[in-house]
Amino acid sequence: MPENRITQLVREDKKLLIAYYMPEFPVAGATLPVLEALEESGADIIELGMPYSDPIGDGPVIQEAAHIAIRNGVTIRHLLDLVRRARQGEGCRKITAPILLMGYCNPVIVYGIDSFLHHAREAGVDGLLIPDLPPEEAADFLTKAKKIGLTVVFLISPVTPPERIEMIDGLSTDFSYCLAVNGTTGTAKLSDAASGDAVDDYLKRVRRHTRKKFVVGFGIKDKARVESMWQFADGAVVGSALLQYIAGATTPEECARLAAGFWKTLR
């Protein structure tokens, strides 16, 4: 079995810039062109959302994107087929960047956990982030995922106590994902929190209690905030801002052009 792309990447001494994209948003047919645009523009890892009808942890931007993705026909089966096509270069240049799927437990359970894991790996997925999967209940899922070479990422929040940070660090395969502030995606006011050094202190605390790398997401919208997060963390995740930037596109080609333009401003 070839080594996981995420595992290879985190060995490198570089700060990561991670894109979150909701497939088939804002128009059907946009996914493959956008993946190509993001990779060519410098996205180190691409997170693909698994749309769910009740995304309780997400703000209005990603909620709306999820609903549009569902209307445009995105199911887990369709999403995995898009990943397979991206890996094989069907409809786009062959995508080699690590791909991480992010979504909720319910669709995975409905699909069938064992089938989902195997089909994801076969399609070319490298990792999974399931926000509502409690670490304390994840042992079986984690064992099965690791056995077939899938990275599993767990979340750390600003109110996570030190002993739990250490537990999450131990469970996450290659890196953990820190929420910059408490709140739903795209709605948290990172600039307000950062003004009191709260985020800096929080990330310093995470660093003291982790051995693996960690990345930061939620509320990161521009190059200045990416670079600010890079001072303390190993990577920054940008999602809602990207979706907002491409939301007005009416063709897949326009989506790709806008995505590339936005991503280059972050680099």
Q: Are 173 and 152 in contact (CB under 8 A)?
A: yes
> Among 58, 126, 169, 174, which one carries the catalytic annotation?
58
DSSP-assigned beta bridge partners for residue 213: 175
**Structure tokens of 262?**
């936005």
User: Of 95, 105, 104, 99, nearest to 125 (Cα)?
Assistant: 99
Cβ burial 125-148 (10 Å sphere, 16+ → b, else e): bbbbbbbebebeeeeebbebbeee
Residues 27-31: contacts with CB within 8 Å, 24+ apart?
Answer: 27/72, 27/249, 27/250, 27/251, 27/252, 27/255, 28/72, 28/73, 29/252, 30/246, 30/249, 30/252, 30/255, 30/256, 31/82, 31/86
Asked if 47 is an active-site residue, the reply is: yes
Asked if 169 is an active-site residue, the reply is: no
> Among 24, 36, 47, 126, which one carries the catalytic annotation?
47
DSSP-assigned beta bridge partners for residue 45: 18
- Helical axes 252-266 vs 31-40, angle rounded to 10°: 30
Catalytic residue positions, numbered = 47, 58
